[in-house]
Amino acid sequence: MLRNKKITLIAIIGLIFTIGVLYISFCMDKKGFEDIFTPINKSYRIDNLRKQTVYIAGVKEEITTKTYHSNIGYKMDFDVNLFKPERTNGLDKFIFTSDEEVYFTIEKTDKNDFIENSSSPNLIYKKVKNLRLKIEIYCPEDPEYKEGVYNRILLMIESIKYE
């Protein structure tokens, strides 16, 4: 009797394992195996490390960027030496590595919440094809930040493309 219960338990565990493997195999598509196990707060992809030459406030600089592919539907080049991305509470957040109080967020809005041609220095509405984005910048009014970090944020926002 005990032996039959053991065999039944092993059979059930084997069946659950087989169903799990089949489910994972079924769910895999072109995005691959790693996307299945990516937590929802990490639902983005980063690739394409490269050097770029940019002009910031008229000064030529070489920066290192990666492309951030958001699950919202856009991609953007960001400076890997100055910003770290994270996905939190339904929006993308790019945090200045030297001061975590300085960051900007990007979130998807619908046409009712999108205010076309109504941007301010710290709130930017950007439309890329049929995608409407709301970008909020949290940066001190200090001229050192405005001339450096703020301009770098604007440069990254300009690189946003529909994906």
Q: How many CB atoms lie within 10 A of CB 105?
A: 17
Q: Report in angstroms the alpha-carbon separations of 44 from 15, 35, 93, 123.
A: 33, 9, 12, 23
- Residue that the structure tokens 């690739």 belong to: 47
- Phi and psi for 36 in degrees, rounded to 5? -65, -35
Residue 70, token pair as written in the block: 């958001």
pLDDT digits (tens, 9 = 90+) for 53-97: 988 778 888 999 999 999 999 999 999 999 999 988 889 999 999
pLDDT digits (tens, 9 = 90+) for 2-22: 566 677 777 677 678 777 665
Per-residue confidence at 147, pLDDT binned at 50, 70, 90?
A: confident
Average pLDDT over residues 92-108: 95
- Of the chain, the percentage scoring pLDDT greater than 70 comes to 79
Residue 144, token pair as written in the block: 């050192």
The H or E element spanning position 13 is helix 2-27
